[in-house]
Structure 1
């Protein structure tokens, strides 16, 4: 019989970036339901996330307002959160996407995506890792990758580049920190019902083409990613390092 406590997050404190909506909200709710106290970081209000967590009856939730595209601000936020109580986990979920043909893609759209999706992710992980190592604490980091960590996609040049980078950084940090008590893994969501995929879902032809390739026959929900995050934050995944779990309805299998 499996030890159910191996999947519990009771007594743990986890920072989730971009917890105000979509996948980030789904992760925050699932992690809280598993018993963790959750800190949600991002620019937008998180009232709905807080309400869902309260309704689920999980751990406590607090919001940390922060522009994650600014490295210094993001690191100061993590320092402040840690000062209020050490963190056991970091979920680098915040991300943005910009769509245009490659021949028309602007430098501004390139830089904005890279700042949030890749640069912020690395330096928040660095700040978390430094504190955990200095204090001799175990820690778990989850990076949110993408199907476009494995594929090229179309009209999302900076997003694809950033998500390939997320997978590479996940493996690099795992190689450096696995023996030091810090697990670094990733989740690669498939096509999930979020604001980032709203344009795709609104395009009847594109949406039908996507659904025709998903063996599960549906778009994913944020909670599907949240439940995978619980596993990667829990003791059950202690021997996992540098892994990337696709939660995609079978997309990559086809």
Structure 2
């Protein structure tokens, strides 16, 4: 693949395209955001209920334990994970629906765009690369929408809610956390960049494998392999690309 194809796109145009693509699903995305906020808020309430169990129910300043309050607090602690799980089910349904819908819209738009391309584009581009863009790359968008984007939003909301809870519970521990936080942020940034490079290489490898499959397993490819006794060479070429070796290692471009 050429350097132009392998180079990462500019962030701003990509974000504009994503916003345009997700515009029809804005209400579903709003519900997902609300579900994430509510789930994080419920999770942040649990430490306060736990503190109330000991300070107000079991060992109140007045003396004996308050069993009525204890039952209410324990019921709240039991209800929080149940309600969070139900919210998670609805959130998963919505994100999956949005991801599949956006993936279908993008695939249709890409197919329609390819229909308008000049003949020179198809003579200079392998059919396997085009198929990989329609299948592998578009499917990656669904993973981003159903997993990555939701996880980022959930982590941000959870961090904010946890930070507020820690300040209310113990500002001393909050200061210690803030001192150690830059170390973890630096590690996460480095790991994220590494994962981005690996994800790009994975998509490029899938594109190469799809192209080899389209070339080798088509009628013409099978005929050539049998006529010139190149079956073992084709297997070696496919194995080489699966292992990440250059495509020309077996003698073919």
Common fold: TM-score over 0.5:
no
- TM-score, scaled relative to structure 1: 0.29
- Where is the strand percentage greater, Structure 1 or Structure 2? 1
- TM-score, scaled relative to structure 2: 0.29
- Where is the helix percentage greater, Structure 1 or Structure 2? 2
